[in-house]
Structure 1
Amino acid sequence: MKNPWTTVSAREIYDNPWIRVEEHQVITPTQIPGIYGTVQFKNRAVAIVPLDQELHTWLVGQYRYTLNEYSWEIPMGGGPLDEDVLESAKRELKEETGLTAGKWTELMKIHTSNSVTDEVGFVYIAEDLHAGETAFDPTEDLQVRRLPFAEVLQMVMQGQITDGISVAAVLKTAIRLKMS
């Protein structure tokens, strides 16, 4: 489909190692002048649903500054745009849980908030798991829990897990598990 938006001008408002914020003067699809703010991410989101033979998975808990609350999520992080997405996922799983996996399956590609950002996320299922040591980022204070996948699904359904990528990944994994 042809893009119905016209960009009149754009200017950078803010830039740091993780994001760039721009303000765009636009003509909307209905031909009304407007303003649009965008956030461009300098990494891809990568997330992993680790599954062991007993159908347990791992959650990572941390206090999320932007939400001002504690959040339980599947293991995830950022992968540089010039790094292979799967390699980023492998690194994040190892850093946050200490796990390595012998089998990787891409579960989904997801846009995290397509109204204001260009961030793309990739989610994998990791199986044939092997335990090892975590390597948390120096800025992270994480808790890691191994739980039955069915319990994690209930946490999603009860609103105890609210992170969008985690919710989508757990629901899609649950559907895949019931179909296989």
Structure 2
Amino acid sequence: MIDWNKNPWKTLSEEKIYENPWISVTEHQVINPGGGKGIYGTVHFKNLAIGILALDDEANTWLVGQYRYPLDQYSWEIPEGGGAHGTDPLESAKRELLEETGISANSWSEIQHMHLSNSVSDELGIIYLARDLSFGESSPEETEQLTIKKLPFNEAYDMVMNGDITDSLSVAAILKAKVLNLIP
């Protein structure tokens, strides 16, 4: 019987080969589960990934569009950002929603924890549902050139189903809200 909690990999050595304020990359010399020697590269994220699905009483939501440099393409997403480890993730979610969209919410529910790419990274994402909304001015960061789109939730769901939304936090948030029937 397999012991699911026992790590079948053996680390022989590790070397941090790159680091910046957001990530570090480590190369590990390993013995794999089959007994062979190899290498494994891992990316450590220094922040949590935070996503917010904002819903109003008429079942509208807000997407943020931006050009994503690593993909070399435009992406429609729920409002997202980073939250420092050791900081309350809900406070990070409130900050990101306000910063990117100008929206504040009086009601917050955590709806998902997820690992975003667990074959190479330890990045943890937390998704919140925000309701009872009020509206102000957005103030995106210098690195963000954002388009904000208000649309009925079901249109966002259709965008996931037809592949127009591919961002993992957005896909998970929208599908989870649909499956759990969280839409008014």
Q: Shared topology, TM-score over 0.5?
A: yes
SS for the counterpart of 2:132 is strand
Partner of 2:96: 92
SS for the counterpart of 1:177 is coil
SS for the counterpart of 1:168 is helix
Q: Equivalents in 1 of 2:180, 2:133: separation in Å?
A: 19
Partner of 2:87: 83
User: Structure 1 residue 62 and structure 2 residue 66: aligned?
Assistant: yes
Q: Equivalents in 2 of 1:3, 1:179: separation in Å?
A: 41
- Counterpart code for 1:34: G
Partner of 2:164: 160
Q: Deviations over 1:116-164 (max 9, x none)?
A: 0000000000000010111100111000011000000001111110111
Q: Equivalents in 2 of 1:157, 1:2: separation in Å?
A: 37
Per the normalisation by structure 2, the TM-score is 0.95
- State which drifts further: 52-61 or 132-141: 132-141
Label 1:71 to 1:175 Cα distance change in 2 as closer, same or farther (>3 A). same
Partner of 2:144: 140
| % identity of equivalent residues | 57
Label 1:78 to 1:178 Cα distance change in 2 as closer, same or farther (>3 A). closer
Q: Using the TM superposition, give the Cα deviation of residue 82 of structure 1 relative to its aligned residue in structure 2, in angstroms.
A: 1.9
- Counterpart code for 1:153: Y
- Counterpart code for 1:22: T
What do you get for the CA RMSD once the two structures are aligned? Answer: 1.2
Contiguous gaps of at least 5 residues in structure 1:
none
Q: Equivalents in 2 of 1:136, 1:28: separation in Å?
A: 44
Q: Equivalents in 2 of 1:168, 1:82: separation in Å?
A: 24
SS for the counterpart of 1:123 is strand
Partner of 2:56: 52
Q: Using the TM superposition, give the Cα deviation of residue 64 of structure 1 relative to its aligned residue in structure 2, in angstroms.
A: 0.4
Contiguous gaps of at least 5 residues in structure 2:
none
Runs of 4+ in structure 1 deviating by more than 4 angstroms, as ranges, are none
CA contact (8 A) 2:177 2:183 kept: no
Q: Equivalents in 1 of 2:107, 2:94: separation in Å?
A: 11
CA contact (8 A) 2:66 2:74 kept: yes
- Counterpart code for 1:92: E
- Counterpart code for 2:8: P
Per the normalisation by structure 1, the TM-score is 0.97
Q: Equivalents in 1 of 2:25, 2:107: separation in Å?
A: 37
Q: Using the TM superposition, give the Cα deviation of residue 79 of structure 1 relative to its aligned residue in structure 2, in angstroms.
A: 0.5
SS for the counterpart of 2:180 is helix
- Counterpart code for 1:41: F
- Counterpart code for 2:130: A
Partner of 1:31: 35
1:119 to 108, 119, 123: 123
- Counterpart code for 1:131: F
